[in-house]
Structure 1
């Protein structure tokens, strides 16, 4: 898989991947304000000390993930998606590893993220990569959201 930074031309493919991946887990909500960042990727991520990566196989975007700045020392993993037809191949791990390396390069000390109770594979991926589930949970539009955090180590 070729991993590269998002470009404006990727907008439609990113949206389609987002919807397909969430639909595959049962966590797809109707479109709403919570999806606004996907129509402002440059402003929300790239122009704000963050990152947005896409993974391509044969010129098709099949994976993606982002880092969003929270504070000077803290960032958040967002929009981790792998197309259902390409799951269980390590693509999510590849995107997550690239994002974590980028967070370190940007000087962040802590990564946080959230996922729903429906997204079991995502929970396993995050735990395997050293993320700790926090006690606090949230409920958003009927979905229970789990919060995770990881302290980054600089080499």
Structure 2
């Protein structure tokens, strides 16, 4: 059974592991650097800044995560969407994204934005299926990324 809950400090090691492992599987892992400092400061970056960080568990096992952070008065950024490779294809990413969007709406944000690498095809499909539109491309540390945006009603 899949359940969602808010991040707790005891989850830190599991979050770090899933973050690295999932990116390594796609070839998008750049090693530890300032680009992922937020993973090591979840309370400050997300929970104490009008954001959210959710943990997905299946039968008590940590299998997925996702978050958003405030980037402006009416803007929030989806971050750290990860599903363990052994648990992909079960709709867990969709469940997390749906819940994050509900919480974004409840906090009054009007625009959601995010980026994902061109290597992360399942992530691109998830975002596009959920109404995110490509608004540009960028290059980050040598990896091409797609910039997405969605208006929240």
TM interval, short-chain normalised? over 0.9
Measured after TM superposition, the shift of residue 93 of structure 1 is 0.2
Measured after TM superposition, the shift of residue 129 of structure 1 is 0.2
Instruction: Show the counterpart of 2:74.
Output: 73
2:152 maps to 1:152:
yes
Return 5+ residue gaps in structure 2 as ranges.
none
Return 5+ residue gaps in structure 1 as ranges.
none
Task: Tell me the TM-score normalised to structure 1 length.
Answer: 0.96
Residue deviations 1:38-60 (CA, integer Å, cap 9, x gap): 11100000000000001011222
Measured after TM superposition, the shift of residue 146 of structure 1 is 0.5
Instruction: Show the counterpart of 1:43.
Output: 44
Aligned pair count reads: 152
**SS in structure 2 of the partner of residue 70 of structure 1:** strand
Task: Tell me the TM-score normalised to structure 2 length.
Answer: 0.98
**SS in structure 2 of the partner of residue 37 of structure 1:** helix
Measured after TM superposition, the shift of residue 141 of structure 1 is 1.1
Instruction: Show the counterpart of 1:88.
Output: 89
**SS in structure 2 of the partner of residue 28 of structure 1:** coil
Segments of 4+ moved more than 3 angstroms = none
Measured after TM superposition, the shift of residue 22 of structure 1 is 0.6
**Higher mean displacement: 72-81 or 20-29:** 20-29
Query: What CA RMSD, in Å, does the superposition of the two structures yield over aligned residues?
Result: 0.6
Measured in 2, the distance between the counterparts of 1:9 and 1:59 equals 14
Measured in 1, the distance between the counterparts of 2:60 and 2:25 equals 22
How do 1:4-153 and structure 2 match up within 5 A? Answer: 4-134=5-135, 136-153=136-153
